[in-house]
Amino acid sequence: MKKLAIITTHPIQYYAPIFKLLSERATIEVCVFYTWGEDALKDKFDEGFGKKIEWDIPLLEGYKYQFLENIALDKGSHHFKGIDNPTIIEEIKNYNPDAILVFGWSYKSHLKVIRYFNNKIPIWFRGDSHLLDEISFPKKIARKLFLTWLYSHIDKAFFVGINNKNYYKQAGVSDKKLTFAPHAIDNSRFKPTNENIDLAQQWRKKLGIKENEVVWLFAGKFEPKKSPLLLLEAFIQKQSKNGKQDKHKEHLIYLGNGELENELKQKSESYQNIHFLPFQNQSKMPIVYLLCDIFVLPSKGAGETWGLAINEAMAAKKAVIASTKVGCAVDLVQPEEKNNQNGFVFQSENVESLKEAMNKINSQKQAKDMGEKSYQIIQNWSFEKIAKTIENSFN
């Protein structure tokens, strides 16, 4: 059986299920090397949410893993020197893999692995970077030169979508080295169940939302790159048409925490149809998406690489609106001409463009129909497809 060493920083809900699935399928043998070290298991202070976070779904079950010693003074994935494993080369050699899959290069140890094993063991790479964020021309040149050098060390790159593929191609990665492995979430966990639908309806009632009233949802960190203030501005403007209150009452729910929380609440205090809910852990998120009719991700970047909340909302059968700076928008938000429309893409940082997109969805029935399309589309973006792609890469 072929052996795959996986190098990643710490257990997260978007990757651990893939490792478990690969182990269950037993086509290849997998061992995950967590480079953050055992400190990764401790509650972490999340800068974006402004609080300590511990995910409440199991992330270490069903697959072989090893926590490596990390001697970094400031441990973490927030900077290059935060991942420093003196024994990583030796540990990988002892495992004796047939290929090494590295998640992300911008850590001291990950880059060391890529460089050391180049031309010794096939190096596979996975990341979700894109070219959507605007940078100066000198930085573009410097980035291209560095990335071209970096990716010359890899044998295969698993791209997650169109924008990610374009990023690799600009860095000189040839088509024969590129393989599509879609960015995915646990679609089955977010599929609406009767129990969760009932819980969401009860929650809506507590918020004073009637059954026939349209609900928009923002769920995530209240931080500048997510642009929650733009959504607030668009929603408030949308409430009045020609100076008259819109007869169809709509609601906006903000779920999360973060640095913009106070400003959002201050600007919303005179609106009874704008609601704030605190951060909810992973087990509650399948219910959270059922509170709404349309999910909105208005990010402006920099650094909104994919936007997996869009995947989650689509798996929950919701219509979606995303900005042009959301990495997944070009892949997952289908335009009208494809006759499979599940949402709209608007011009980032443009309130008129966002408002126009919101105005195109004018009923719960329309939103529901679009949500059904979302559900159909997202079935092709699954952990199973990622697992099969990784397995087939040994052939």
Tell me whether strands 178-180 and 51-53 are parallel, antiparallel or unpaired.
unpaired
Q: Give φ, ψ of 195 to 5 degrees.
A: -65, -45
pLDDT of residue 202 exceeding 60: yes
pLDDT band at 361 (very low <50, low <70, confident <90, very high): very high
Which residue, 365, 297, 374, is CA-closest to 333? 374
Average of per-residue pLDDT across 178-203 = 97
pLDDT band at 303 (very low <50, low <70, confident <90, very high): confident
Q: For the chain, what percentages of helix, strand and coil (3-state, to nearest 5) are there?
A: 40, 20, 40
Average of per-residue pLDDT across 303-326 = 96
Cβ burial, residue 338 (10 Å; 0-12/13-18/19+) = exposed
Q: What is the pLDDT of residue 247?
A: 47
Are 250 and 214 a contacting pair, CB within 8 Å? yes
Rounded CA separation 118/6 (Å): 15
pLDDT 10s digits, 33-91? 999 999 887 765 556 556 566 666 889 999 999 999 999 999 999 999 999 999 999 99
Q: Which two tokens stand for residue 131?
A: 């070219």
pLDDT 10s digits, 87-138? 999 999 999 999 999 999 999 999 999 999 999 999 999 999 999 998 899 9
Rounded CA separation 369/54 (Å): 35
Average of per-residue pLDDT across 355-364 = 94
Average of per-residue pLDDT across 351-378 = 95
Q: What is the pLDDT of residue 301?
A: 84
Domain span(s) for CATH 3.40.50.2000 in the chain: 3-182+382-392, 187-378
Q: Give φ, ψ of 5 to 5 degrees.
A: -95, 125
211: Cβ contacts below 8 Å, ≥ 6 apart: 201, 204
pTM over 0.85: yes
Q: What is the pLDDT of residue 336?
A: 72
Domain 187-378 matching CATH 3.40.50.720: the answer reads: no
Rounded CA separation 72/57 (Å): 28
Q: What is the mean pLDDT of the chain?
A: 93
At 204 the three-state DSSP class reads helix
pLDDT 10s digits, 147-163? 999 999 999 999 999 99
Are 215 and 367 a contacting pair, CB within 8 Å? no
pLDDT 10s digits, 236-288? 999 876 444 554 589 999 999 999 999 999 999 999 999 999 999 889 999 99
Q: What is the pLDDT of residue 144?
A: 95
Q: What is the pLDDT of residue 243?
A: 47
Share of the chain above pLDDT 90, in %: 87
CA angle 389, 392, 395 (to 5 degrees): 155
Give me the architecture of the 3-182+382-392 domain, per CATH: 3-Layer(aba) Sandwich (3.40)
Tell me whether strands 156-159 and 178-180 are parallel, antiparallel or unpaired.
parallel
Q: What is the pLDDT of residue 45?
A: 59
Average of per-residue pLDDT across 192-197 = 98
